[in-house]
Amino acid sequence: MTRLSIIIPVFNAEKYLNRCVNSVLNAIKVANHSAESTKSSDDFEILVVDNNSTDNSLSVLTEFAKEHPGVISVLQCHTPGAAAARNYGTKRAKGEYIWYIDADDQIEKSSIELLLDKAQETDADLVMMGAEKIYPDGRKNILLPVSSAEYKYKSRFVRYGMGPWQVIIRRKWWNKYGFEFKEGFIHEDMEMMSALILYTDKLASVDKPLYFYYQNDNSVLHKKVFDPHIFDIFPVLESLYQRFVDAGAEKEYRDELEWFFIWNLLIDSANDFRRFPEGKSGFTRSREMLKKYFPGWRKNRFLRQKPLRLQVLAKSNYYR
């Protein structure tokens, strides 16, 4: 039985692939050679999904597959976007758990062993891990996982805003609820990840940085020229809110959702709106969205717990 399917969407990632794929292979090797492990290479599969790359990514991946037959499979998804590539890989995955890894990142060598051991120990649907965010200038930031031992841990999970790479997911549970990434958008992971906790009480975590996330200035979220996809934040947040409505949870998590909207509209996305003349309409749309969903947002309890400078920034961006 395949215990873990690792799904890696790839678009023009030629210069990062050796680092990424080798880190996964090394982690599989550690899991296989653990003194207490009975795992074999058949327990793991790496599904690399090329998504219309125009560089040499496909050639690099093909060579990896030749060197590691039975472990690495190269798939081609012609529908643009990481969401489509993830969905494509998920439909072909066989693992008990799935892990989405970005092609420009890497994982810690003990990560697979630790995560699967935790999953087996707790029978979790979701196993969250710590991560290290690495910036181009060398700065690092540790992202601590949400623990089910925390008071009101589901509240923090909703507010956390994690990427799909920070959690391994039981595949049958994922399929049971028909989860898919929203295709054709950036911020596609945001549309769903915070809502996952509404469908399970089986959350576990490994409080150690097992994933290394490289903040790439040329990524789809940090382009240096205007991209109208920065406005995808609006339909994505609307879709996330609807997930809570459908689950009957929008009232229970109103404060958490309100903070999530404040952070993503008035702080994070505001950076992109400000950088480009074409983006200025984003401030108007942010005001309209907050008036529609959260007209009393200024009194949000999570905002009021933040440093004064952050409160001032949010309010000033609202009136831009």
Q: DSSP letter at 295?
A: T
Q: How far apart are CA 216 and CA 244, in angstroms?
A: 31
Question: In the prediction, which pLDDT does 216 show?
Answer: 76
Is position 223 within any domain?
Answer: no
Structure confidence by residue, pLDDT tens digits, 154-213 = 999 999 989 999 999 999 999 999 999 999 988 889 999 999 999 999 999 999 999 999
Same domain, 122 and 251: no
pTM (two decimals): 0.93
Structure confidence by residue, pLDDT tens digits, 54-75 = 999 999 999 999 999 999 999 9
Is position 220 within any domain?
Answer: no
Listed residues 182, 214, 246: the one ending a domain: 214
Paired with 134 in beta bridges are: 140, 214
215 or 288: which leads in pLDDT: 288
Give the mean pLDDT of the chain. 93
Q: What is the CATH number of the domain that holds 23?
A: 3.90.550.10
Question: In the prediction, which pLDDT does 35 show?
Answer: 41
Tell me the two tokens of residue 233. Answer: 């934040």
Question: In the prediction, which pLDDT does 38 show?
Answer: 46
Q: Kindly indicate the confidence band of residue 83, based on its pLDDT and cuts at 50, 70 and 90.
A: very high
Same domain, 145 and 291: no
Counting the structural domains of the chain, the total is: 2
Range of the domain at 266: 228-318
Same domain, 138 and 263: no
Helices 14-32, 111-122: axis angle to 10 degrees equals: 50
Q: Are 213 and 163 in contact (CB under 8 A)?
A: yes
Is position 178 within any domain?
Answer: yes
Q: Are 202 and 157 in contact (CB under 8 A)?
A: no
- Phi then psi for residue 80, to 5 deg, are -65, 150
pLDDT at 39 over 70: no
Structure confidence by residue, pLDDT tens digits, 12-37 = 999 999 999 999 999 999 998 764 54
42 or 72: which leads in pLDDT: 72
Same domain, 43 and 93: yes
Same domain, 118 and 158: yes
Tell me the two tokens of residue 259. Answer: 């903070």
Nearest to 232 by CA among 243, 244, 220: 220
